[in-house]
Amino acid sequence: MKTKNIVLFASGSGSNVENIVRYFQDSPDIVISAVLTNNKKAKVLERCDRLAISGLYFNRIAFYDNNCVQDILKVFNPDLIVLAGFLWKLPEKIIRAFPDRIINIHPALLPKYGGKGMYGSKVHQAVKSNGDTETGITIHYVNENYDEGAIIHQAKTTISADDDVAQIAQKVHALEYEYFPMIIEKLVRVEML
């Protein structure tokens, strides 16, 4: 059976990256080939060192103005590209090069609280400010617009008026850690059949 390669993109601390790497670390047929980041000070690079995973930094020119990142991806030939807390919009050339092979996780129940600038605590603050009684995660395919690709999976959690932004974030992170690796595995294994 052919080994399936996954490449992760992240911009921050990389807690989801670590969770995904640990989930697949004993898998005989699914490997995390590399983690790419647009932030040279991102804590995810420290996690990569600790987890013995290749961590690669790229700048805006390599991503948008030439084919450097796209060429790196071609070398890895990923079966799936996973955006795990990656904040830049993907260029259309990368989306076209890997059709239906790029997914993202969003910390809300899309289509609510999606779009440019809606990430992390900004999303949780909006949920709190609007008095929502539930929130959750959305795992979706990536297209040329922020948070508008086809939805693959959603998971919900209840929140109370007493929950602060940090408590909402904690509930959402718990859903991310539980569901994101399982959905990634399901997508990759469907391709293996």
As annotated, the active-site residues are 106
Using CA atoms, how far apart are residues 45 and 10, in angstroms rounded to an integer?
9
Q: What does 70-107 look like in DSSP terms, one character per residue? A: HHHHHHH--SEEEESS--SPPPHHHHHHSTT-EEEEES
Using CA atoms, how far apart are residues 90 and 102, in angstroms rounded to an integer?
10
CA nearest to 83, candidates 170, 8, 11: 8
Residue 177 burial class via C-beta count within 10 angstroms: exposed 0-12, middle 13-18, buried 19 and up:
middle
Q: What share of the chain is helix, strand, coil (3-state, %, to 5)?
A: 40, 20, 35
- The residues near 15 (Cβ < 8 Å, ≥ 6 apart) are 85, 173, 177
